[in-house]
């Protein structure tokens, strides 16, 4: 299937062009306190994704060791691990990402198996949902270029590289996930298929079907020379029931509720990006695509803070002019704060090579920003560290 070739794209996501000059207000931040959780030598961890459990705990997905690790922020200590079994009655497929709802409902997604699994905190499998031979509705399929009507759910988190989680809407009892169309076009031509398809779908547990396909691509993706990134992040505002889609390569975000694009651009966007000819039927070299993925500027994360009723869009600068090969996690990065009405409140610069800007958790007291990164200059392997940060509006 054409989709198999998409696994290579995990290492080659690229970016696009800057639309206009902007002058967001310059904000600053205060570190309210630093959190240090001692880690014993026998506790191994490398989390691709973290999530708060209430206000006092968080859980991390360790894909390397197939487990979920639970920590107390209140007591500053490691609590326990839930081992994800690979055999037996509680066999769990290789996990790409997760979503914690409560101790009896933890959703796991496997890209390899194209499946959701529902487990409890003990690692017992409560239910499994295999998702194969997914077909777009006929009226939708007719508008997608080069598609055989088949699509695939898509979510992956990988430490320092990819952060494309899925969400669970407790009010509608639906999972929300990226979807990617299958394409019969050759080479980079298949991007025409991706960029003419909707981005997000909802999985209904009652019907066990995907529904409410939504999202459109910005105009820059509808060009002969366009970005190479069919995978984007989104976040759900449960108060307004709005889904915002964040495009790595565009200054715009898309509101599903408003069915409209809104410009939320960084002051530091310079347009230092790589474009690819999507009419090219042969493709590009891995080196070209990796260079774009690692060094292009891009909007790498989007977060909704329910306590402040504010969104945060994370932008990382280009590193093309660096003297040495710089990993994306060592780039300069910025946080753009904006309201649900898409009013940009301002932008704040954070120091490079200290924080993991893919792991930011809004709390009642401020933003918890992880320092757990292999590329951090201050990473201490004997401690799990956060800074609790307040953005000064």
Q: Is the pLDDT of residue 234 over 60?
A: yes
Confidence (pLDDT) at 191: 92
In the block, which residue shows the tokens 């922020």? 73
Q: What is the DSSP letter of 138?
A: H
Q: Of 238, 96, 104, 82, give the one whose Cα is nearest residue 168.
A: 238
- Check whether 5 has a pLDDT greater than 70: no
pLDDT at res. 323: 63
Q: Residue 15: what pLDDT? A: 38
pLDDT band for position 10 (cuts 50, 70, 90): very low
Residue 11 has pLDDT above 60, yes or no: no
User: What gap in Å lies between CA 129 and CA 158, rounded to an integer?
Assistant: 23
Q: How far is CA 59 from CA 56, 294, 364, 368, in A?
A: 11, 28, 18, 13
Q: What residues contact 332, with CB distance under 8 A and at least 6 apart?
A: 268, 316, 317, 349, 352
Instruction: Compute the half-sphere exposure of residue 363: CA atoms within 13 Å on the CB side of its CA.
Output: 24
Cα–Cα distances (Å) from 38 to 41, 159, 220, 381, in that order, read 10, 21, 47, 9
Mean of the per-residue pLDDT values of the chain: 91
Give the Cα separation of 201 and 178 in Å (integer).
Answer: 6
Structure-token match 């191994």, residue found: 44
Q: State how far the Cα of 230 lies from the Cα of 221, in Å rounded to an integer.
A: 10
pTM of the model: 0.92
pLDDT at 324: 67
Gap between the Cα atoms of 285 and 301, Å rounded = 27
Task: Say if residue 206's pLDDT is above 50.
Answer: yes
Q: How far apart are the first and last CA of the chain?
A: 49
Helix extents (H) in 38-155: 138-141
* Total residues belonging to the chain: 393
pLDDT tens track for 72-120: 999 999 999 999 999 999 999 999 999 999 999 999 999 999 999 999 9
pLDDT score of 325: 65
66 close to 55: Cβ distance less than 8 angstroms? no
């Amino acid at each position: 299937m054409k989709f198999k070739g998409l696994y290579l794209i995990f290492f080659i996501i690229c970016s696009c062009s800057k639309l206009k000059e902007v002058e967001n207000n310059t904000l600053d931040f205060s570190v309210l306190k630093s959190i240090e959780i001692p880690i014993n030598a026998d506790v191994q961890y490398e989390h691709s994704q973290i999530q708060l459990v209430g206000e006092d705990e968080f859980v991390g997905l360790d894909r390397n060791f197939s487990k979920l690790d639970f920590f107390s922020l209140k007591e500053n200590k490691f609590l326990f691990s839930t081992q994800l079994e690979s055999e037996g009655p509680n066999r769990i497929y290789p996990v790409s990402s997760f979503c914690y709802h409560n101790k009896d409902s933890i959703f796991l997604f496997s890209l390899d198996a194209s499946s959701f699994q529902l487990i409890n905190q003990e690692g017992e499998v409560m239910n499994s949902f295999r998702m194969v031979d997914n077909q777009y509705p006929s009226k939708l399929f007719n508008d997608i270029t080069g598609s055989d009507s088949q699509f695939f759910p898509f979510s992956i988190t990988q430490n320092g590289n990819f952060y494309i989680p899925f969400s669970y809407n407790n009010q509608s009892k639906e999972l929300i996930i990226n979807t990617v169309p299958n394409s019969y076009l050759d080479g980079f031509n298949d991007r025409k298929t991706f960029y003419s398809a909707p981005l997000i779908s909802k999985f209904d547990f009652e019907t066990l079907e995907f529904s409410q396909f939504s999202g459109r691509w910005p105009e820059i993706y509808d060009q002969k020379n366009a970005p190479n990134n069919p995978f984007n992040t989104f976040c759900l505002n449960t108060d307004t029931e709005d889904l915002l889609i964040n495009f790595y390569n565009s200054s715009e975000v898309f509101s599903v509720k408003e069915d409209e694009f809104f410009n939320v651009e960084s002051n530091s966007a310079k347009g230092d990006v790589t474009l690819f000819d999507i009419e090219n039927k042969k493709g590009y070299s891995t080196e070209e695509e990796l260079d774009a993925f690692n060094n292009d500027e891009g909007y790498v994360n989007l977060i909704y803070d329910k306590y402040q009723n504010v969104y945060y869009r994370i932008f990382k600068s280009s590193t093309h002019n660096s003297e040495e090969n710089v990993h994306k996690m060592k780039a300069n990065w910025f946080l753009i704060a904006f309201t649900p009405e898409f009013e940009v409140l301002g932008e704040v610069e954070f120091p490079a090579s200290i924080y993991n800007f893919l792991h930011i958790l809004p709390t009642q007291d401020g933003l918890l920003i992880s320092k757990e990164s292999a590329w951090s200059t201050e990473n201490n392997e004997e401690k799990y560290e956060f800074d609790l940060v307040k953005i000064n509006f």
